[in-house]
Structure 1
Amino acid sequence: MTSEATLTRPQGPQPQPAVRPPEVLRELLARADVQINGTRAWDMRVNDARAYRRILTQWSLGAGEAYVDGDWDCDRLDIMFERLIRAELDRTAPATAKIQLLLESLRQRLFNLQTVARAHQVGERHYDAGNDVFEAMLDSRMIYSCGYWAHARDLEQAQEHKLEMICRKLELKPGETLLDIGCGWGGLARFAAERFGARVTGVTISKEQLAVAEQRCLGLPVTLRLQDYRSLQGRFDKIVSVGMFEHVGLKNYATYFDTARRLLAPDGLFLLHTIGVDRRAPHTDPWIERYIFPNGKLPSPVELAGAIEGRFVIEDWHNFGPDYDRTLMHWAERFEAAWPRLSSSYDEAFRRMFRYYLLSCAGFFRSRQGQLWQLVLSGPERRGVYRSVRP
């Protein structure tokens, strides 16, 4: 499976095929039909022999760091990662890397990595990376979450259809109050105010996002704040949270849903849009955790349902994970096309980091291990029957 979005081949050092790779690594990659210094688009081309040691001792973290440093290349990272993940190599580390992964699992299990004091870290490291990068990569509304491609011809339509679907799922009406937890650059807040007449309150932990969102929502009944969700007060007819729950953390799920329950009007609806995984994972991917989304955690169905139980009624659970593959491929294509004008502000390592992030995630969703869920939740006191929306 490949996307219609095309990518340019990265220019890097020429491979060194004379260096013989370790047999254990060759055998592991063979399970996914990936070859070292092969000729197919998804094969790994090694440029520096130190890549072998980095991968074998640090696995995912070492592979990502080695790619960013130019130690290896691949024409189609998205296809390679789909193959690696389908073969479950992300869950089958060599013995030389297991100690490090065990320590990472213990760190995430024993400590709350998403406290109020730490919540700002993902904003500073990723969302504040540079608005120019996201403006070039995303659609005109700067929606940084999965588009809805059922009837869309391009990225712009896919994101507009997603926003329309969210507001219709919420049964949003003129004059109603909407809380947007994790409002990003204000795209959804503006859409809900303009198209559905809602009065919106949005919160974000990113200063860069807030600055753009305030400009985009000028003159509309939209209030935006730099604030952690845990300190929110008031009561809202509807609540939405898109692409934020991945930063909440397992130890805070109860607090998150208790907060939403406290803020939601008795007859209200809460739409949660989040990435999920097909089964429980002992830890977040170490490279993604260190370089892209620090302190992140993707929920499994059991973890999510367990946190909701006793707090909300699940009115609807919609999975359209494959749409994220297509969204990411378009983001990657747009990022590459914009690189000539971005390169004066960012170095080649940044380009390789973002390329690796976008295309490895595309492979993750294409493998079906990664999923995208929209849940519509209500309090047990709500009356009436909810009718699911599938445009």
Structure 2
Amino acid sequence: MLQHLLVRNLRSLLREGNITLHLPDKSVARIGDGLGPLVVVRLTTSAVVRRLVWNPELALGEGYMNGEITIDGDDLHGLLRVVVSNFDVQASSLWMRAIRVIRMLRRRFDQNNFASASRRNVAHHYDLSSTLYDLFLDQDRQYSCAYFKSPEDSLEQGQSQKKAHIAAKLLLEPGMRVLDIGCGWGGTALSLARDYGVNVLGVTLSKEQHRIATARAKAEGLSDRVKFKLCDYRDVTGPFDRIVSVGMFEHVGLPHYAAYFQTVRNLLTPDGVALVHTIGRSAPPDATNPWIARYIFPGGYIPAMSEVLPAIENADLFLDDVECWRLHYATTLRHWFDRFEANSEKAAEIYDDRFVRMWRFYLVASEQTFRFGRQVVFQFQISRRQDAVPLTRDYLYPPTPSTQLSRAAE
């Protein structure tokens, strides 16, 4: 009965793609329109069938982690490509709409990230073994979307270009005081101090990130210009000429958007500029995927732009510029996945095989969502004064010697 119900539900949700599904009773079902590469999926227990019926988004990730869902050739990219490519169909499904209504009713409760909850949520992900992140990140430990100017760019090039692009939007001058909200392992703060001569305070709730960032500043001889503090952004005192936040806003929580931007305003000097770099949705608001919320980013949420702009407006801040990066994060995640796969045995030694499958699912699901779904990256440039930044984007793209020669020849 449940197997029949599951197959019927999957056929209504996954109308495009080519999946052959092997069920625990040895029966076989074809899912999709039969077009595209064949993905062969095997469900090994009746328990996973039941969970897929009642909570498919949570059960898919859990089933793969636990080995109850296997894929021939371990083609996780192929399976999740089909799943994500059918998101629009799923959104119109009565079954999935009922599930999402419940999640939407709960989401403000789930994202009520007061300081104590924020610390627990951050520790869940960012206080994992530091060796784990060495297995797939670049040497600067940039754990956010890189900026690829060319398909041939390496991960290191993309991350360096990301930092340079952000620095340009901050309009830095030597001696400025900069706040880095959610500073990670310190890479951005150290780069800004080293390359632009500014003084940076980086704040994080992760004990492991704070330890490593502080050690890095000391090793590079930058401790006099870069300080790292283990504290909540709401406890910082200013003022600051510039504020930057990269990949942290996703952890703020919807109920705290107003407080976040009011804090940014209060910490900025009158002519200050802030740059908020965050994953976003190019679609209406939704709820966090339950598997991601349970295993990867508890308390996390990907905002729609319509949820962010009112908080900026109500904080009496000027929105100077908005930029949307498309597919850059998909490429970043593919780099991370390839590096993680090359080091999966080392990851299993740090944790275990189940953790490796969990992390693999996280990286692949994220990539496919950026590649075929509605996730992008937003950069919000904001200030307290209307004339705090140039009136055109020309300052971001100064002419190179080659373009100057070309114009002279004309």
Query: Which runs of 4 or more aligned residues in structure 1 lie more than 6 Å from their structure 2 counterparts after TM superposition?
Result: none
What is the SS of the residue equivalent to 2:135? helix
- Give the superposition deviation at 1:340: 2.1
Q: Which amino acid aligns with 2:267?
A: L
What is the SS of the residue equivalent to 2:103? helix
Mapping 1:190-205, distance limit 5 Å: 190-205=190-205
- Give the superposition deviation at 1:25: 3.7
**Counterpart position of 2:401:** none
Contact in 2 for aligned 1:47/1:73 (Cα 8 Å): yes
- Give the superposition deviation at 1:341: 2.2
**Counterpart position of 1:321:** 326
Contact in 2 for aligned 1:240/1:271 (Cα 8 Å): yes
CA RMSD of aligned residues (A): 2.3
**Counterpart position of 2:79:** 80
Contact in 1 for aligned 2:348/2:355 (Cα 8 Å): no
Tell me how many residue pairs correspond in the alignment. Answer: 372
Q: Which amino acid aligns with 1:55?
A: L
User: How has the CA–CA distance of structure 1 residues 163 and 334 changed in structure 2, closer, same or farther, with 3 Å as cutoff?
Assistant: same
Contact in 2 for aligned 1:163/1:188 (Cα 8 Å): yes
Contact in 2 for aligned 1:128/1:208 (Cα 8 Å): yes
Cα deviation, 1:27-72, whole Å, max 9, x if unaligned, reads 1354131413479756251141433222111110111111111112
Q: Which amino acid aligns with 1:378?
A: S
User: How has the CA–CA distance of structure 1 residues 275 and 300 changed in structure 2, closer, same or farther, with 3 Å as cutoff?
Assistant: same
Cα deviation, 1:119-153, whole Å, max 9, x if unaligned, reads 11222111112111111110000000000001462
Cα deviation, 1:139-186, whole Å, max 9, x if unaligned, reads 000000000001462101100110111111111111111100000000
What is the SS of the residue equivalent to 1:185? coil
What is the SS of the residue equivalent to 1:117? helix
Cα deviation, 1:207-236, whole Å, max 9, x if unaligned, reads 111111111111211110111111111100
User: How has the CA–CA distance of structure 1 residues 289 and 261 changed in structure 2, closer, same or farther, with 3 Å as cutoff?
Assistant: same
Q: State the alpha-carbon separation in 2 of the partners of residues 104 and 380 from structure 1.
A: 39
**Counterpart position of 1:137:** 136
TM (norm. structure 2) is 0.85
Q: Which amino acid aligns with 1:215?
A: A
Contact in 1 for aligned 2:324/2:377 (Cα 8 Å): yes
Using the TM superposition, name which of 25-34 and 277-286 deviates more.
25-34
Using the TM superposition, name which of 79-88 and 153-162 deviates more.
79-88
Mapping 1:122-271, distance limit 5 Å: 122-151=121-150, 153-218=153-218, 219-220=221-222, 221-271=225-275
Task: Give the gaps of 5 or more residues in structure 2.
Answer: 22-29, 399-410
Cα deviation, 1:261-302, whole Å, max 9, x if unaligned, reads 000111111001000012233311110011100011111011
User: How has the CA–CA distance of structure 1 residues 127 and 42 changed in structure 2, closer, same or farther, with 3 Å as cutoff?
Assistant: farther
Within the candidate set 267, 280, 289, 2:284 is matched to: 280
Contact in 2 for aligned 1:47/1:70 (Cα 8 Å): no
> Aligned residues: percent identity?
35
Q: State the alpha-carbon separation in 1 of the partners of residues 123 and 81 from structure 2.
A: 30
Compare the two structures and name the one with the higher helix fraction. Answer: 2
Contact in 2 for aligned 1:180/1:239 (Cα 8 Å): yes
User: How has the CA–CA distance of structure 1 residues 236 and 345 changed in structure 2, closer, same or farther, with 3 Å as cutoff?
Assistant: same
Task: Give the gaps of 5 or more residues in structure 1.
Answer: 1-18
Q: Which amino acid aligns with 1:64?
A: G
